[in-house]
Amino acid sequence: MLNDKGLSIGKFTQKVKGKNPTWRDPKTKWTISKNKGQPHGGSYWKLINNKGKKNSFFN
């Protein structure tokens, strides 16, 4: 999921129904969703692991 430039969002190709906008990596089952507001230093994406726990925040 991470490459030398940061988070590779191209792997998150599966739209998660009912959650807007949230995308899933079909291989790892991890998800990314847009971060609402500015609570984490202006990060743009939340990375959530396959168990539903927030892992990291990315710009």
Task: Record the pTM.
Answer: 0.68
Spell out, as residue ranges, where the chain has pLDDT lower than 50: none
* The pair of three-digit structure tokens given for residue 4, joined into one six-digit string: 């030398």
What pLDDT is recorded for position 27? 93
pLDDT at position 41 is 62
For the chain, the domain total comes to 1
Token pair in block for residue 15? 């739209």
The range of the structural domain enclosing residue 7 comes to 2-58
Give CA–CA dist 18/6, Å, rounded: 27
Q: What is the pLDDT of residue 48?
A: 86
d(CA 40, CA 25): 23
